[in-house]
């Protein structure tokens, strides 16, 4: 009876302890968390400070605002492929790698053994057969409703630390949390022939009416999640379920090129300035070298690099091993003996993994170089009015409008670019309404990384829906805003109290991103 509360008690002080340690390291200017940018001259630093300063003039668009992905911004016509264009400033000699990566991103993997040995290794338990199956047209996933499939949304399974050894693993950044002992890191609803899938996600909604200050009533969907048809016995009593939809793939290389000092500058985990916003940075292990780095990818900032994010998806979603995630049986656990007895797709002549480094590297390169589409109507009066409301409502406290990427970026295409992601890439407490109860490293069960907003206005054009937030519960932008709580509670209340014209202007602004 005491086992579950004990685990929760172990996890809570660790998050507080490690958060303080991260902030202290940043203030001390450690190598892992630099407090200032070392890539800029004094002149460049002044230019960056000037161009990224908050604005007060909303009478016109800012210089280069429409080019929200910097020099790599796509100005191609807006179609269903708007998220799939190559960065405009990518060198011609590198575009072949982009197209090869695209082919691998779309590749359908098959179970081993297979006559197509370069394509086998799927599963044995899995959620999707390709990256493209989840990130449809490189865009946003959706919940399985209205006849839609469940491929682009899954349930993360995790429990907090239960022993001193597990607590030490968290403290040393050797683990983010701990998988269910039978079902692993996520519920796999598909399996290769001859093996039972783990189970299926069950989802239902309650409609919750919210009355705005002017009397308009908006209905929010409160989701409830459970699992059914479990093939390998019950879940552990301490295992939590966290639904996740596949996120948009835009501008990942640019996000990677933001200097950590610029992200850390907004971190205030103890809310020392008293503004109610307590952005928190997190440190994670780089899977290639094991060094500590700033987490900036994933719903809870659990990955430091695009390569690590890609390797994790290969392992957990498709069941493919890579040099960064050497798990040829994917998410199979020690208790799933039937799964572990099946053949893998590792071919010695092709490399040491089912998706060897050429595959992992090309898919990573493709993911890094997907272009951010240009803004639409950035200078239109209604959009400018909405931008002003966005600022005045307090949205920019977390959705930081712009950054200038580092001069010494590993790829010149990403270097010294003025970009407009509208995110601080920090963890924030979003309140009880959005809480999933699942700690991931420093992120507790109420915290989420601020997602970038660029491209959000084209979701319906590309993906045919407008479902938003980590589990797609919001059917539109208004519902997404009204789900904000915790640190965003004041901004939500301010939005709720706005006149209808101002609320619509803010939505129009978001739709232009």
Specify the pLDDT at position 290.
87
Specify the pLDDT at position 348.
73
CA distance readout (Å), 379 to 62, 376, 385, 494: 9, 9, 10, 25
C-alpha 80/C-alpha 139 separation (Å) is: 10
CA distance readout (Å), 498 to 214, 491, 504: 8, 11, 10
Residue 118, domain extent: 93-205+227-247+286-367
Q: How large a percentage of the chain has pLDDT more than 70?
A: 93
SS3 370: strand
Specify the pLDDT at position 38.
93
Specify the pLDDT at position 119.
85
C-alpha 264/C-alpha 426 separation (Å) is: 8
- What is the value of pTM for the model shown? 0.93
Residue 43 covered by a domain: no
Residue 305 covered by a domain: yes
Specify the pLDDT at position 28.
37
Sequential DSSP letters for 478-494: HHHHHT--GGGHHHHHH
C-alpha 344/C-alpha 365 separation (Å) is: 26
Specify the pLDDT at position 147.
67
Candidates 131, 140, 133; CA nearest to 366 is: 131
Alpha helices in 216-371 (DSSP H): 252-256, 260-264, 306-313, 337-340, 357-368
At residue 427, does pLDDT exceed 90? yes
Residue 133 covered by a domain: yes
Residue 419 covered by a domain: no
Tell me the pLDDT of the chain averaged across its residues: 92
Residue 239 covered by a domain: yes
At residue 13, does pLDDT exceed 60? no
At residue 4, does pLDDT exceed 50? no
At residue 450, does pLDDT exceed 90? yes
Candidates 247, 230, 240; CA nearest to 155 is: 240
C-alpha 472/C-alpha 480 separation (Å) is: 9
Specify the pLDDT at position 12.
40
Specify the pLDDT at position 149.
75
Mean pLDDT of 202-217: 97
Specify the pLDDT at position 32.
57
Write the pLDDT tens digit of every residue in 126-155. 999 999 999 999 999 999 887 677 789 999
Residue 71 covered by a domain: no
Residue 129 covered by a domain: yes
Total structural domains within the chain? 1
Mean pLDDT of 304-320: 97
Residue 142 covered by a domain: yes
Other beta carbons within 10 Å of 8: 15
Dihedral sign for Cα atoms in the order 72, 73, 78, 80? positive
At residue 455, does pLDDT exceed 90? yes
């Amino acid at each position: 009876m005491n086992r579950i509360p004990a685990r929760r008690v172990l996890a809570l002080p660790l998050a507080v302890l490690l958060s303080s340690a991260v902030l202290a390291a940043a203030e001390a200017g450690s190598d892992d968390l630099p407090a200032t940018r070392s890539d800029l001259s004094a002149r460049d630093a002044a230019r960056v400070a000037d161009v990224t300063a908050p604005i007060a003039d909303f009478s016109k668009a800012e210089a280069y605002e429409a080019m929200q992905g910097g020099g790599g911004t796509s100005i191609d016509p807006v179609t269903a492929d708007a998220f799939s264009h190559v960065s405009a400033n990518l060198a011609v000699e590198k575009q072949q790698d982009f197209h090869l990566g695209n082919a691998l991103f779309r590749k359908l993997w098959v179970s081993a053994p297979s006559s197509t040995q370069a394509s086998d290794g799927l599963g044995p338990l899995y959620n999707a057969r390709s990256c493209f199956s989840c990130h449809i047209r490189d865009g946003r996933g959706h919940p399985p409703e209205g006849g839609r499939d469940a491929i682009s949304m899954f349930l993360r399974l995790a429990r907090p630390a239960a022993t001193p050894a597990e607590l030490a693993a968290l403290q040393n950044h050797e683990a983010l949390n701990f998988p269910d002992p039978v079902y692993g890191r996520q519920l796999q609803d598909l399996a290769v022939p001859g093996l039972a899938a783990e189970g299926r996600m069950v989802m239902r909604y309650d409609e919750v009416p919210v009355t705005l200050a002017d009397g308009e009533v908006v209905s929010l969907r409160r989701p409830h999640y459970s699992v059914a048809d479990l093939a390998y016995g019950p879940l552990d009593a301490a295992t939590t379920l966290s639904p996740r939809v596949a996120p948009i793939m835009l501008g990942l290389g640019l996000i990677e090129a933001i200097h950590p000092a610029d992200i850390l500058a907004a971190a205030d985990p103890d809310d020392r300035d008293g503004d109610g916003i307590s952005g928190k940075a997190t440190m994670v292990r780089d899977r290639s070298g094991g060094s500590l780095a700033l987490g900036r990818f994933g719903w809870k900032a659990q990955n430091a690099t695009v390569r690590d994010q890609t390797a994790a998806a290969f392992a957990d979603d498709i069941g493919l091993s890579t040099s960064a995630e050497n798990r040829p049986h994917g998410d199979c656990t020690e208790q799933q003996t039937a799964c572990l007895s099946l053949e893998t797709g590792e071919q010695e002549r092709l490399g040491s993994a089912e998706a060897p480094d050429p595959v992992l590297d090309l898919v990573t390169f493709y993911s890094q170089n997907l272009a951010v589409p240009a803004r639409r109507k950035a200078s239109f009066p209604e959009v400018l009015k909405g931008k002003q409301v966005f600022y005045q409502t307090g949205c920019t406290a977390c959705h930081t409008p712009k950054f200038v990427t580092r001069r010494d970026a590993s790829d010149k295409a990403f270097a010294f670019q003025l970009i407009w992601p509208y995110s601080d890439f920090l963890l924030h407490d979003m309140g009880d309404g959005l809480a999933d109860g699942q700690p991931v490293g420093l992120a507790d069960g109420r915290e989420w990384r601020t997602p970038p907003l660029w491209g959000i206005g084209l979701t319906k054009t590309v993906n045919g829906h407008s479902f938003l937030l980590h589990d797609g519960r919001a059917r539109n932008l208004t519902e997404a805003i009204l789900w904000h709580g915790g640190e965003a509670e004041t901004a939500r209340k301010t939005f709720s109290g706005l006149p209808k014209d101002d609320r619509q202007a803010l939505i129009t602004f978001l739709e232009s991103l």
